[in-house]
């Protein structure tokens, strides 16, 4: 292989590596976006409320209420906690037998409900509360308002930060890929000019450059997809509820669509620019 | 073939040539002489529509340069063969592919025709056996002969040569000139920009000279 051919191939390899790294960044960002709702669902998975029951409610009614609550649209799970279970749990937590002190068990029977993520907003919980309190067996409805507010507030903040970073990454990626493609075409500007002078049309000159750019986009997207898939496979066992392989096809598709579109458009735009550049200016750009 | 009447060439608000008249027909063998920087290359650039003609009237190979559209320029250039002092071959492909590129750019896709035309011009410029060489593997004289082959492969009506012998030793440039003279005798209009007086004496032709921004026939 001659020196020139080697140099041309090495320049092409370098541009493919640069585009691969940028697409890898896009792939990881997509991975985070696709899994962001799982992360927020995970954070919200402990949000729920407790329904305290009146003293005289019969077991059959408790059973019916537990079933109704467990199949309600907002409910992820509903679990009956008898006053005995509640007291032994509290004794364990306090390390002191308060029943002995008081002479009776003051804790009521209760049902603990965990909510589906989409019903964890404060207004949803309030409307559930109004509905549940209509039931004659229910004495009290309790939820940790501050915890709900804090979780929702943090999820909102993180989503906003995520959106800002995604837009920033997209902007950086487009700029970097555009520059890489432009630079590789810039080195061929005299070839473009010579092609013009022998009577080649703009379309005829543009075509091989755009094809070559798109091929480098496809190659880079393939490498980036492999890397992202590797990352997902490594992380999925440690982050079982957050990262799954289900979204991998979406990420691969995004990487390919992004890689092909940006390299194609950048290639076409760069050639067009050199096609319209005056030959004297072309020399000055050296 | 080339008909300029009262043309002025202005670049970046500087007048390079004023009110020039130039008329060349098929089979003419002509020189464009003048000092370095006198405007020879600029005049050639107007002929292949790289510099627009804004005043006077200019016609080349049937195209009016005063109102030529950007998308018509490639079609005008397919009727011209341009030879440069620095050869300007496509360095990323061999000589055969350089010539093939011109034919493909001119929308000729028949492989047999491409092969025949290339072997015909390769033999005209005595480069048999060098078709598969890359441009940088050839000597200056050979590269310029490849440049001529590229200029004539599409059977142009006009050949424009900008200092074609500028970088060559005498033996090489005599062989180049002989090819150009033969092309003119075969009916191609040849216009050579040069400041080499020896060439003009050895291969006489029509001589247009540029001096003080004007063009006159000597």
Each residue of B104-113: pLDDT tens digit? 988 888 999 9
Nearest residue, CB atoms, A195 vs list B45, B105, B134: B105
Residue of chain A whose Cα is closest to the Cα of B107 = A200
In this model, does residue A6 exceed pLDDT 80? no
Residue of A171, A170, A148, A267 whose CA lies nearest to A218: A267
pLDDT band at B135 (very low <50, low <70, confident <90, very high): very high
In this model, does residue A2 exceed pLDDT 60? no
Nearest residue, CB atoms, B102 vs list A2, A8, A198: A198
Question: Chain A contacts of B101, Cβ < 8 Å?
Answer: 195, 198, 200
Domain assignment present for residue A246? The answer is yes
Same domain, A191 and A118: no
pLDDT at A31: 82
A115-125: pLDDT as tens digits = 988 888 888 88
Q: Which two tokens stand for residue B164?
A: 């074609």
Same domain, A23 and A111: no
A24-38, A162-176, A214-228: which has the minimum mean pLDDT?
A: A24-38
Same domain, A80 and A14: no
Shortest alpha-carbon distance between residue B4 and chain A (Å): 21
Domain membership of residue A275 as a residue range: 3-40+152-285
Any chain B CB within 8 A of the CB of A95? no
Average the pLDDT over B152-161 and give the result: 91
Q: Which of A198, A272, A281 to mutate to test the interface with B (most CBs of B within 10 A)?
A: A198
Domain end call among A85, A113, A142: A142
pLDDT at B177: 87
Domain assignment present for residue A35? The answer is yes
Shortest alpha-carbon distance between residue B201 and chain A (Å): 30
Same domain, A157 and A126: no
Domain assignment present for residue A173? The answer is yes
Looking at per-residue pLDDT, the higher value among A238 and A64 belongs to A64
Domain assignment present for residue A22? The answer is yes
| Tokens 């550049």 sit on residue | A277
pLDDT band at A285 (very low <50, low <70, confident <90, very high): low
Average the pLDDT over A120-134 and give the result: 88
Mean per-residue pLDDT over chain A, rounded: 85
Q: Which two tokens stand for residue B187?
A: 């009916």
Domain count, chain A: 2
Q: What is the CATH number of the domain that holds A132?
A: 3.30.70.3040
Same domain, A161 and A274: yes
| Tokens 């005056």 sit on residue | A278
Same domain, A131 and A96: yes
- As a whole-number percent, the residues of chain A with pLDDT over 90 amount to 23
Would you say the pTM of this structure is higher than 0.95?
no
Nearest residue, CB atoms, A198 vs list B50, B75, B150: B150
Whether A204 and B105 lie within 8 Å, measured CB to CB: yes
pLDDT at A165: 85
Same domain, A157 and A238: yes
A255-280: pLDDT as tens digits = 999 999 999 999 999 999 889 887 76
Q: Which of A199, A201, A202, A209 to mutate to test the interface with B (most CBs of B within 10 A)?
A: A199
Q: Which of B16, B92, B105 to mutate to test the interface with A (most CBs of A within 10 A)?
A: B105
pLDDT band at A14 (very low <50, low <70, confident <90, very high): confident
Whether B74 and A199 lie within 8 Å, measured CB to CB: yes
Domain assignment present for residue A182? The answer is yes
Domain assignment present for residue A147? The answer is no
Question: Chain B contacts of A204, Cβ < 8 Å?
Answer: 104-105
Distance CA B68, CA B116 (A): 33
Q: Is A52 left (phi over 0), alpha (psi -120 to 50) or beta?
A: beta
pLDDT at A11: 74
Average the pLDDT over A97-104 and give the result: 80
In this model, does residue A239 exceed pLDDT 80? no
pLDDT at A286: 46
Domain end call among A142, A176, A195: A142
Same domain, A101 and A134: yes
pLDDT band at A283 (very low <50, low <70, confident <90, very high): low
Same domain, A8 and A66: no
In this model, does residue A3 exceed pLDDT 80? no
Whether A8 and B92 lie within 8 Å, measured CB to CB: yes
Domain end call among A142, A161, A179: A142
pLDDT at A160: 87
Residue B141: partners with Cβ closer than 8 Å, 6 or more residues away: B168, B169, B171, B172, B173, B175, B176
Same domain, A199 and A275: yes
Domain assignment present for residue A25? The answer is yes
Contact A48, A112 (CB under 8 A): yes
Residue of B31, B29, B24 whose CA lies nearest to B61: B24
Question: Chain B contacts of A2, Cβ < 8 Å?
Answer: 134
Same domain, A182 and A277: yes
Within a 10 A sphere around the Cβ of B179, how many other Cβ atoms?
19
B42-95: pLDDT as tens digits = 999 999 999 888 889 999 999 999 989 988 999 999 999 999 888 889 888 999
User: Running DSSP on this structure, what letter comes out for residue A48?
Assistant: E
* φ/ψ of residue A111, rounded to 5: -125, 125
Domain assignment present for residue A107? The answer is yes
Distance CA B104, CA B151 (A): 14
Whether A196 and B71 lie within 8 Å, measured CB to CB: no
Residue B174: partners with Cβ closer than 8 Å, 6 or more residues away: B202
Same domain, A274 and A161: yes
State the Cα torsion A112-A114-A118-A120 to the nearest 10°.
60
């Amino acid at each position: 292989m001659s020196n020139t051919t080697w140099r041309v191939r090495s320049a092409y390899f370098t541009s493919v590596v640069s585009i691969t790294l940028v697409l890898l960044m896009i792939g990881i960002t997509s991975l985070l976006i696709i899994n962001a709702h799982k992360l927020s669902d995970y954070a919200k998975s402990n949000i729920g409320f407790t329904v305290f029951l009146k003293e005289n409610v019969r077991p059959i009614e408790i059973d019916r209420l537990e079933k109704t609550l467990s199949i309600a649209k907002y409910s992820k799970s509903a679990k009956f906690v008898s006053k005995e279970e509640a007291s032994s749990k509290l004794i364990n937590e306090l390390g002191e037998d308060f029943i002995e002190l008081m002479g009776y068990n003051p804790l009521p029977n209760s049902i603990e409900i965990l909510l589906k993520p989409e019903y964890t907003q404060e207004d949803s919980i309030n409307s559930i509360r109004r509905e549940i309190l209509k039931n004659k067996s229910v004495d009290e409805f309790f939820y940790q308002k501050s915890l709900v507010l804090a979780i929702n507030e943090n999820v909102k903040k993180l989503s906003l930060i995520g959106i800002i970073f995604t837009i920033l990454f997209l902007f950086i990626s487009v700029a970097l890929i555009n520059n890489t493609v432009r630079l590789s075409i810039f080195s061929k500007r005299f070839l473009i000019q010579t092609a013009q002078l022998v009577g080649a049309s703009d379309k005829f000159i543009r075509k091989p450059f755009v094809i070559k750019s798109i091929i480098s986009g496809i190659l880079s997207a393939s490498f980036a997809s492999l890397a992202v898939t590797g990352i997902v496979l490594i992380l999925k066992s440690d982050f079982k509820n957050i990262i799954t392989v289900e979204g991998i096809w979406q990420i691969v598709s995004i990487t390919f669509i992004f890689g092909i579109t940006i390299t194609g458009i950048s290639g076409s735009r760069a050639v067009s620019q050199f096609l319209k550049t005056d030959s004297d200016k072309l020399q000055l750009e050296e | 073939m080339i008909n300029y009447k009262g043309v002025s060439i202005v670049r970046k608000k500087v007048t390079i040539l004023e009110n020039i008249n130039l008329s060349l027909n098929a089979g003419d063998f002509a020189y464009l002489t003048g000092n370095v920087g006198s405007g020879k290359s600029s005049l050639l650039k107007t002929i292949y529509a790289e510099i627009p003609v804004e005043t006077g009237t200019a016609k080349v190979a049937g195209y009016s340069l005063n109102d030529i559209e950007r998308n018509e320029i490639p079609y005008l250039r397919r009727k011209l063969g341009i030879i440069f002092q620095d050869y300007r071959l496509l360095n990323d492909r061999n000589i055969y592919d350089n010539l093939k590129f011109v034919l493909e750019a001119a929308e000729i896709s028949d492989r047999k025709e491409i092969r025949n035309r290339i072997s015909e011009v390769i033999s005209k410029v005595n480069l048999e056996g060098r078709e598969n060489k890359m441009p940088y593997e050839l000597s200056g004289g050979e590269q310029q002969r490849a440049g001529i082959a590229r200029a004539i492969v599409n059977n142009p009506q006009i050949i424009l040569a900008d200092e074609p012998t500028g970088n060559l030793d005498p033996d090489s440039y005599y062989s180049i000139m002989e090819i150009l003279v033969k092309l003119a005798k075969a009916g191609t209009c040849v216009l050579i920009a040069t400041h080499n007086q020896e060439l003009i004496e050895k291969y006489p032709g029509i001589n247009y000279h540029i001096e003080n921004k004007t063009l006159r026939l000597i």
